[in-house]
Amino acid sequence: MHSWANRGRKATMPDLVLFQPDIPGNTGTLMRLAACTGTTLHIIEPAGFRLDDTALKRAGMDYLELASLARHLDWDGFQSWRRTTRRRLVLMSTKAETSLWDLAFRADDLILLGRESGGVPEQVHEAANHRLTIPMAEGARSLNVALAGAMALGEAMRQTKAD
């Protein structure tokens, strides 16, 4: 794991995790959310765009300096880190049957968001401790990954009373 910055990180609160993101604008939006909430944003590579300081600065505008970011070189590396830290993995998925509103979040949860173009592979689904969906109107397929991340993090922070 490689960390870019650690400013503003609150001691105990849920983190956001992006699985192989492929749209830099969504990653930038979630970087801004992480910076503004004091949350850590984890990125599991490979990404569909360059993950260097210049590319991230462009995606996250001036929030790169404020965000706490952790980079994991691949899924196996992330899983190894997660086992060491003993953190629960909560996957947001349109394929899940449990509603976002039905989980009792814990302060150290990792909220995983799939790749915009294809979600996550089956092995990632199986590794998740919980799989949640955001209830939507009939006929709607999915929300933008950044919006789904904001909703899930907001609910987790509300439940855990994160300041």
pLDDT of residue 88: 97
pLDDT of residue 163: 56
* Total domains, the chain: 1
**29-88 pLDDT tens trace:** 898 899 989 999 999 999 988 776 566 666 556 667 778 889 999 999 999 999 999 999
- Counting other chains too, the contacts that 86-90 makes at CB distance below 8 Å and 24 or more residues apart are 87/15, 88/129, 88/130, 89/17, 89/127, 89/128, 89/129, 89/130, 90/128, 90/129, 90/130, 90/131, 90/132, 90/152, 90/156
Q: Which domain holds residue 78?
A: 2-160
Identify the CATH number of the domain in which residue 123 sits.
3.40.1280.10
**89-139 pLDDT tens trace:** 999 999 999 999 999 999 999 999 999 989 999 999 999 999 999 999 999
